[in-house]
Structure 1
Amino acid sequence: MDNDQLTLKMLMLLIRKSLPNADVKWACRRGHDAVARCLSAESRPDVLLVDMSLEGLSGVEVCRQIRAATADVALIGVTSFSLEHYAADALAAGAQCVMDKAQVADICDAAVALANGRTPRTRYVSDMTAAQSHALLAKRDDSDADDDSATRPAIAAAAVAPLTDREREVMRLCAQGRSSREIGELLGVGESSVKTYVMRAARKLSARNRTQAVAEWLMLQN
């Protein structure tokens, strides 16, 4: 799905050329339409490409709504803008990976991998399966619907459990207000590695971005 009609047609043409045996079920420009079609068994695709910079219902929110409802659709976030700008939010919303919209051949490879139960070989990829993401987001939605503050610490604790020691250390330093470069110097790793750790921690904390991840982390320390 894409909000630009010309880009949408070009993507469909290139995908059909690269994957002649694939069945491109449908394409749409509005997020609400994509969510509705993915929640219907009759129109649900195996893989959905989601433009990150949609108007109205954002691409990140499209991913979140679909993933909270089902694990049966593989979600690939695509954008012509900075991947780093969208990666953490999209992966936290249940996308399996985020890719450059112009790299159609790589996107097709990722779609084939996901459709066959494999992890795509790309830079920004989730370390959780669709089923794990679905369980986490569905649980969070249920908690929000119930508005039961007594259960939220337990749910948050369950979400933070998978964090690795390095991810915990990075979050501790983020909470101190240190930049990615400063954290990298302290830990002896590159700045890009720090951003990857933050992205993964945000995903596991069900946070949409670094700021929310730090807030969730601090809440868990109390």
Structure 2
Amino acid sequence: MYDRRRFGLAVVDNDQLTLTMLTLLVRRLLPEVDMKWACRRGRDAIERCLSVDSRPDVLLVDMSLEGLSGVEVCRQVRAATADIALIGITSFSLEHYATDALAAGAQCVMDKARVRDVCAAAVALANGRMPRTRYVSDMTAAQSHALLTTRTEAETGNVADDGSPTRSNAAAAAALLTEREREVMCLCAQGRSSREIGELLGVGESSVKTYVMRAAKKLGARNRTQAVAEWLMLQD
């Protein structure tokens, strides 16, 4: 299952039994992995990830942590560094967590019961490849880090007088849009419906809505209307 390099892995899960079993299974499936640590609290995981001495290459994050949520753990770690691959894991509905976790910088969200698949994803990410799984990010860790850093700067003072992100921040976020997302936003700005855009680009209407949703998040917009407004402002 290994590719070119060994790597360090860590786990945060608030259930002690699950934490113990995950650790044992990962060690069995990846006997050469450097198991850095396992902990039950999100804040402890963040602190260890920010320390050079205990920073793992891959972190498995339970989505349903008590106190600080798994999504928030992903967000804080990713805002601080692009050097750690984040895999969200859960025993509940993947759909429930996927959108928020991926927006918070996780590379993918997976069923924690499918440990072999989780290990395969960890190997892929540690070796610079995206995992083959359903809920996977369309951004690299570096892109997510840049986006979250831009948003943090806006929230902490780098904003316009009306409270909106500055033009430079918005432009930096827009630079993260893929070519297809840019095509979709241009067509949205022309007043085209999702169905019309899908017909023009040869994709399904649901795919168009997904592209719009991703573009909106990167632009810091709450919905399609705001995303179009942000996009038009950047074209001036």
1:110 equivalent among 109, 114, 121: 121
Moved more, 79-88 or 42-51: 79-88
What is the match of residue 4 of structure 2? none
Within a 5 Å distance, the mapping from 1:91-170 to structure 2 comes to 91-149=102-160, 151-161=165-175, 162-163=177-178, 164-165=181-182, 167-168=184-185
5+ residue gaps, structure 2, are 1-11
Q: Deviations over 1:53-79 (max 9, x none)?
A: 112111111111111111111100111
Q: 1:66 to 1:149 in 2, by over 3 A?
A: same
2:63 equivalent among 52, 62, 65: 52
Q: How many residues align?
A: 212
| Identity across matched positions, percent | 65
Report which of the two has the higher share of strand. Answer: 2
Q: 1:141 to 1:66 in 2, by over 3 A?
A: same
Q: Deviations over 1:74-101 (max 9, x none)?
A: 1001111221221121111111111111
Q: TM-score, normalised by structure 1?
A: 0.81
**Secondary structure in 2 matching 1:142:** helix
Distance in 2 of aligned mates of 1:169 and 1:79 = 37
Q: TM-score, normalised by structure 2?
A: 0.77
Moved over 2 A (4+): 150-154, 165-172, 183-207, 212-216
Matched, 1:31 2:31: no
Q: Which amino acid aligns with 2:135?
A: Y
Deviation of the 1:194 alpha carbon:
5.2
Q: Which amino acid aligns with 1:12?
A: T
Q: CA RMSD in A?
A: 2.9
Q: Deviations over 1:103-153 (max 9, x none)?
A: 111110000011111111111111211111111211221221125325534
Higher relative contact order (CA 8 A, sep 6+): 1
Distance in 2 of aligned mates of 1:107 and 1:170 = 38
Report which of the two has the higher share of helix. Answer: 1
